[in-house]
Amino acid sequence: MGELSTLRRYERRRRFDNSAMLGLMKGFKVLFGSHDPALTLARNLGMSGMNQWVPLKRVLMRQATGERGRLPLSCC
């Protein structure tokens, strides 16, 4: 069973990355929930551009899956 101090350290290390991802998801909610034509156009252009720019796409995918940032070392 894990020690509370170990869990707290993990929580502190991941806090920034988790907050950044939460902010990104809130932004997506606004972008995809809007019916404003200008915002829809900007969203579509941005998503298309990101899809074509593979290095950025990989970084965002790694961030979304928790494989980027201050990752704790494996214990075993």
DSSP 22-62: HHHHHHHHHHHH---HHHHHHHHHHHHHHHH-HHHHHHHHH
**What is the distance in angstroms between the CA of the first residue and the CA of the last residue of the chain?**
14
Residue 74 pLDDT more than 80?
Answer: no
pLDDT of residue 41: 93
pLDDT tens digits, 9-62: 888 888 888 888 899 889 889 989 999 999 999 999 988 988 899 998 888 888
Residues in contact with 51: Cβ distance below 8 Å, sequence separation at least 6, in sequence order: 57
